[in-house]
Structure 1
Amino acid sequence: MTTARYPSYDGTSLCYRTLGPAPERVSPTLVCLAGGPGRDAAYLEDLGGLDRDLPLVIPDLRGTGDSQAGADPAGYAFPRLAEDVEALRAHLGLERIALLGHSAAAVTAQAYAARHPERLSHLVLVTPGTRLQDRPTTDAQQIFHSRADEPWYPEAVAALERLATAHELAEIKRLLTRVAPGTYGRWEARQQAHAAAEGEQLHPVPRAAFWQGVDEAVRRGITDALGGLEAPVLVVTGDRDGASGVAAGAVVAGQFHDARRVNLAGCGHYPWVDEPEEFRRTVATFLLGRPAG
């Protein structure tokens, strides 16, 4: 793994990590965006060992991880974050990139696809939501409550109810920790360790400003443009995802003329944590056009 920096469109110094083989040896290069919103990219880890198959570039979005905070809070809105991605592509000297967005970052990835379609070879959206499409789904709650017989459930469901009205980041962090078991495929040591880091990885200003200035016209402009995207699209969901659910994946995939949907069994909101090999094979096969090794 190597760490480097690049100047974005406004001079903000942003950090990124590179993992896996050199881009000149294996194509495409996969740029991987962290969600949250406003979460350090460290939680993406190596995406279930995907760096064994492809070059990965994992940026800390502005105001997170080792990246500099922007002078203008409007830069944290996801359409502007998409321009940070474009600045990274130019910095890397790549004509085109494959782009992966997890959770909230699936929105940033869609904004990038709408604005820079000619720069994309592939688009991968992992456990997306539907706020961009303004089409709410309800199956995430059903999935969450289907696990009422698990020992963590009573505390988690109480925290979930309080989360709907929480505004202070410190309280949100505490509640997310209690809700976390319902967002993984199972609640074992691996999942517990991954979830424990979330509170310290969230940043208040990038989180609060993610949707800043994004009105219906902006959303519609993005979603309308996606129907003409020529790059192939993969939408990955998990059948135990109590955060985004499965139905959201169908809504998001339905925007594109060439989208493949894969629902991974036994996986929650972080499929590379629950079933790393299955996640790796699914994404690598899609990107490489052949079965992953």
Structure 2
Amino acid sequence: MIDASAGPLEYAVAGEGVPLMMIHGTGGGFDQGLLFAAGLRRSGFRIVAPSRFGYLGSAFPDDASPARQADTLVELLDRLGTGRLPVIGGSAGALTAAEFALRHPDRCSHLVLIVPAANLTNRDPVEFTAPQRLAMGAVLGSDFWFWSLSRLAPGQMIRTLLATDPTLLDRVPEAERLRAHAILDQIFPISRKVDGLRNDGFWAGTPTPTAYERIAAPTLILSCEDDLFGTAGTARLLADRIPDTRLILYPDGGHIWLGHDDGLTGEIADFIPRTERS
């Protein structure tokens, strides 16, 4: 933990090598950041994984915007003695990662956005049905209901919360099935993440204030065509807005890029020049 200007900020550091910051997605925390970056850690990166506002031990200030979060992450890097580094954001964490690259270009060498959340069309890309809204409300309000449903109906939870077709689980290696269930399990206890979840829902659904066209860092964007949160369409729009961008879209995999973690890790490792890792 550090005492930042916005309040306590929780983080983890793991691995050896050149530092890289992994900003977790909705329902996560530093633990999800470490899970998303596990392959990169094995590839020789040192992972800095913060918990964003409203998640686990991090504060939830009055201004919990992605821009304020980006500024607070600079305080973390200053405390760690870390200068310029690649920054990766997954899902709603992509909002903060993009603001970091925009607001602090001297600290961001490369930007990677994975299944990025953003409202670029003045319309929330995630539309829940009435039953889905009821289920989400029950789950977000109760550790008991989250735990029960994740045990009794894990497939439905993977579809609703992780925006991934659960039938894909039958077509991927065991390691990928375990990763999917680990992502779901890490959302528990929901009570320590409610503020962050609701904040992400607001900022991901609100028309974006981020000037993506002014991002100067080389950028890699990755998504899956069948992501039930619609991030493939968002990824295409972002690739048109951010000047120096490479776009990779997998045909399947959902919001957790199921079956593509090794490939995604390899693409990111190749994207970061070897001079960054010397």
1:159-215: CA deviation from partner (whole Å, max 9, x where unpaired): 854224654522797589624237336125422443244342561222333477999
Distance 1:198 1:184 in 2: 15
Alignment CA distance shift 1:213-1:39 (3 Å): closer
> Any unmatched runs of 5+ in structure 1?
24-28, 142-158
TM-score by length of 1: 0.73
| Letter of the structure 2 residue corresponding to residue 184 of structure 1 | T
Partner of 1:155: none
Partner of 1:43: 32
Does 2:121 match 1:134? yes
Give the secondary structure class of the aligned counterpart of 1:118.
Answer: coil
Pairing partner for 2:84 from 93, 96, 103: 96
Aligned 8 A contact 2:55 2:195 in 1: no
**CA apart distance, 1:122:** 0.5
Alignment of 1:243-262 (within 5 A): 243-262=229-248
Distance 1:285 1:246 in 2: 21
Give the secondary structure class of the aligned counterpart of 2:238.
Answer: helix
Q: Which moved more, 1:177-186 or 1:53-62?
A: 177-186
Give the secondary structure class of the aligned counterpart of 2:53.
Answer: coil
Does 2:95 match 1:78? no
- Could you tell me the percent identity over the aligned residues? 20
Does 2:262 match 1:277? yes
Give the secondary structure class of the aligned counterpart of 1:55.
Answer: strand
Does 2:187 match 1:198? yes
Q: Which runs of 4+ in 1 moved over 6 A?
A: 211-216
Distance 1:18 1:125 in 2: 20
TM-score by length of 2: 0.76
Q: How many residues align?
A: 253
> Any unmatched runs of 5+ in structure 2?
171-176
Distance 2:49 2:231 in 1: 25
1:57-96: CA deviation from partner (whole Å, max 9, x where unpaired): 111123323x2434xx324222221122111121222221
Partner of 2:174: none
Partner of 1:119: 107
Partner of 1:184: 164
Q: Greater helix percent: which structure?
A: 2
Aligned 8 A contact 1:41 1:58 in 2: yes
Superposition CA RMSD, Å: 3.4
Partner of 2:173: none
Give the secondary structure class of the aligned counterpart of 1:243.
Answer: coil
Partner of 1:7: 3
